[in-house]
Amino acid sequence: MPQDMLVEIFHKQAEFDSALAEKRGLSFDRDTWIQKEVLAIIAELSEILDEVNYKWWKDPRPVDEEKLKEEIVDVLHFFVSMCIKAGIGPEELYQAYLDKNAENFRRQRGESGRPGYAWK
């Protein structure tokens, strides 16, 4: 995703969060907001599981691809909102992702000081 798209996502989410808090009279401290965002993400992840037939004890049904995409985007909404509340902007998130991705590759290649990750 080009970085400018990430900037736009953060901008739009900040606009939505501000409007929501104002219109609904919501005022929580940072930690409570983050707790609420985490709970919302967990709820949305559960909805994703429902869409992809995780219940092996039931007859599977065709996956509704549009509903699946919608639930994944819901996770993104709450994740970006949580980033905003935690003071993480799009540039910082982007760089942190690049750094972590590089570290993950180093771990898998056995080039990290952390044992137990290397590809066999």
Residue 105: C-alpha distances to residues 4, 12, 33, 98, 109 (Å): 25, 32, 33, 11, 6
* Residue 3 pLDDT: 64
pLDDT of 46-79, one tens digit each? 999 999 999 999 999 999 999 999 999 999 999 9
Q: Which residues of the chain have pLDDT under 70?
A: 1-3, 120
Helices (H), 52-120: 65-85, 90-108
- Specify the pLDDT at position 81: 98
115 in helix, strand or coil? coil
Query: What is the topology classification, in CATH, of domain 28-108?
Result: Helix Hairpins (1.10.287)
Amino acid residing at 107: R
Q: Where are the domains of the chain?
A: 28-108
Q: Which residues of 38-59 are buried (b: 16+ CB within 10 A; e: fewer)?
A: eebbeebeeebeebeeeeeeee
